Amino acid sequence: MTAAPVTVDTAQTSHEFLLTVEDLRLKHILELEQQDSIGGTGLLNGSLPVTVALPAIEIQNGRLKARPPGGTLHFDLSRTAENSWVKSQPNMDILIKSLKNFHYHTLDIGLAYEKNGILRLDTRLEGHNPDFKSGRPIHFNLKIEENIPALLKSLELVQGLEDSIQQMITKPKVRRPSKP
């Protein structure tokens, strides 16, 4: 990511600048999910218009697009998880099967981050899975909304719990003398 030089006028309450994104690896973005079931390849380019009006940060009309020729997405659920998803949402079967080995030529993400911490992603994904329906073309339009501060807080809680369990496992127990 790069940005043109930014001049900060301390008399102003708001500052705007443009982040330019080049060759961002999709693999690294997906690794943030910390899920072994999802992976991908490809490079993204785009721009993120950022407004900083402390304590808030905002991004309006951001855009990330895959560089040609595109890349792949892999979504591999355990058989148990897959069956559970399909039971609760019968149409998920097509989605799950098509994303197991999805080769995309178009990945276009509209991005907005609001002052209240809500991240909105409007994603257009076009390609095919050579192992599903004879490689027939598939187009997805996905809208994703996430409360980033709440997500970070929950990740912090999970990490704290993992640290506590690890400490309990590795820390030797101290035996207290029994009372007579």
Can you tell me the distance from the alpha carbon of 134 to that of 128, in angstroms, rounded to the nearest whole number? Answer: 9
Query: 131-147 burial by CB neighbour count: b if 16+ within 10 A, else e?
Result: ebeeeeebebeeeeeee
Dump pLDDT digits (tens) for 120-162.
999 999 999 999 999 999 999 989 898 888 777 766 655 565 5
Can you tell me the distance from the alpha carbon of 118 to that of 146, in angstroms, rounded to the nearest whole number? Answer: 6
DSSP 60: E
pLDDT band at 61 (very low <50, low <70, confident <90, very high): very high
* pLDDT above 70 coverage of the chain, percent: 83
Can you tell me the distance from the alpha carbon of 21 to that of 28, in angstroms, rounded to the nearest whole number? Answer: 14
Dump pLDDT digits (tens) for 66-112.
999 999 999 877 777 777 777 777 777 788 888 889 999 999 999 99
Centroid of chain to Cα 115: 19
DSSP 171: S
pTM: 0.75
- CA 96, 101, 106, 109 dihedral sign is positive
